């Protein structure tokens, strides 16, 4: 929980992941053999295997959704645009932090009592919103919040009830925290861990990582959508809170290796770990780029369900989080001892004709 809390309190909007990267690097450098930052900003760690059976990659992305400063009004309001996919309906009234100095602001819009009826019946567009930082002149706002500065949600990590937490950036600081814990162990296979950049704006960092490492098998650890809320029918649920980590069969970017999916599920059953399958095929994550790098990689995604994802107040069950960590520990241990499956991984790219 210590790692997760600290990670979610760091701002790292896509393209500005430096502070997240430095925190992770400092925390893991004592438990890995090599660590480097590539040209696009991905953090890559390596632990040599005791037997070097194959190359296995664990991957999670460091970036979060947010905004960027695009202009100003003459009365000192800051104009902005989203970085990554954000539901604009949740934005009015939300607190934000701008730039490295953490300039405080509030997202505002035309007051409802001044809106025409047709305006009140429509979702307010981001282009009609602004950020109020307490200035009343354009030049004052420009000095405090420069053009191109990144903007992050201002949201504190909070425990909810007996099992849940609320925070920003659970997608995907939850995955980062789990991988950081997994790096404390050493296995027979060569283990790589990538903490990627710019996932929220096109899976960019993972494309570079997949090509560099060229792994035999890869697991992407994610925070994923959870829709078990009032107004949604049960058959529309993507995942459910408290039902365990999520295995993805297919989404918009990747089709997981079927044998790998079965291996994960069987491992969960063997170790009595609750697990669920993602029931929708929308969205995507870094697995999509890693799967198609070089000559192809066996990939699978294991995720933690998060309600209100891509908002300042995502909600996650710690039972699901701990279950995801336990499942990955079990999967890595099983891969180490299962020689038959190890051969399948190594021979996966061979075709005898």
Residue whose token pair is 């990554």: 84
**Structure pTM?**
0.92
Return the percent helix, strand and coil in the chain, to nearest 5: 30, 25, 40
Does 352 score more than 70 pLDDT? no
CATH number of the domain at 2-64+168-346, out of 3.40.630.10, 3.40.50.1820, 3.40.50.300, 3.40.630.30?
Answer: 3.40.630.10
Please give the positions annotated as active site.
199
Beta strands (DSSP E) in the chain are: 34-37, 43-47, 55-61, 66-72, 78-83, 95-98, 103-108, 130-132, 150-153, 158-160, 164-167, 190-196, 217-225, 246-248, 276-277, 298-307, 314-317
Segment 142-151, tens digit of pLDDT: 999 999 999 9
Find the range with the poorest average confidence among 38-52, 121-135, 330-344. 330-344
CATH H superfamily, domain 67-153: Peptidase M42, domain 2 (2.40.30.40)
pLDDT in tens, 198-211: 999 999 999 999 99
Domains of the chain, by residue range, sit at: 2-64+168-346, 67-153
pLDDT digit string (tens) for 159-168? 999 999 999 9
pLDDT at 195 over 70: yes
């Amino acid at each position: 929980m210590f790692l997760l809390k600290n990670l979610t309190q760091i701002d790292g909007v896509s393209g500005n992941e430096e502070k997240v990267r430095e925190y992770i690097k400092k925390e893991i450098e004592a438990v890995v053999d090599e660590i480097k930052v590539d040209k696009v900003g991905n953090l890559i760690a390596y632990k040599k295997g005791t037997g070097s059976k194959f190359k296995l990659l664990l991957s999670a992305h460091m970036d979060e959704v947010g905004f960027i400063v695009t202009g100003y009004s003459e009365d000192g309001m800051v104009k902005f645009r989203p970085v990554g996919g954000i539901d604009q309906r949740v934005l009015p009234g939300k607190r934000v932090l701008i730039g490295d100095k953490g300039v405080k602001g509030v997202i505002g819009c035309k007051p409802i009592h001044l809106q025409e009826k047709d305006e009140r019946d429509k979702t307010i567009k981001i282009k009609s919103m602004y950020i109020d930082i307490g200035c009343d002149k354009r030049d004052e706002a420009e000095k405090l919040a420069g053009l191109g500065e990144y903007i992050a949600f201002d949201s504190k990590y909070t425990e909810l009830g007996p099992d849940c937490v609320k925070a920003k950036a659970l997608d995907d600081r939850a995955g980062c925290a789990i991988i950081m814990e997994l790096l404390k162990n050493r296995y027979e296979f060569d283990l790589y861990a990538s903490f990627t950049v710019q996932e929220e704006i096109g899976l960019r960092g993972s494309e570079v990582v997949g090509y560099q490492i060229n792994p035999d098998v890869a697991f992407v650890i994610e925070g994923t959508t959870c829709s078990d809320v009032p107004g949604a029918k049960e058959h529309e649920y993507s995942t459910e809170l408290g039902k365990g980590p999520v295995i993805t069969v297919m989404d918009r970017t990747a089709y997981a290796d079927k044998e790998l999916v079965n291996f994960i599920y069987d491992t969960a059953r063997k170790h009595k770990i609750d697990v669920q399958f993602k029931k929708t095929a929308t969205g995507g994550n870094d697995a999509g780029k890693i799967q198609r790098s070089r000559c192809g990689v066996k990939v699978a995604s294991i995720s933690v369900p998060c309600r209100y994802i891509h908002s300042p107040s995502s909600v996650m069950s710690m039972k699901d989080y701990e279950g995801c960590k336990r499942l990955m520990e079990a999967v890595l241990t099983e891969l180490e001892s299962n020689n038959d499956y190890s051969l399948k991984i190594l021979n996966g790219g061979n075709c005898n004709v």
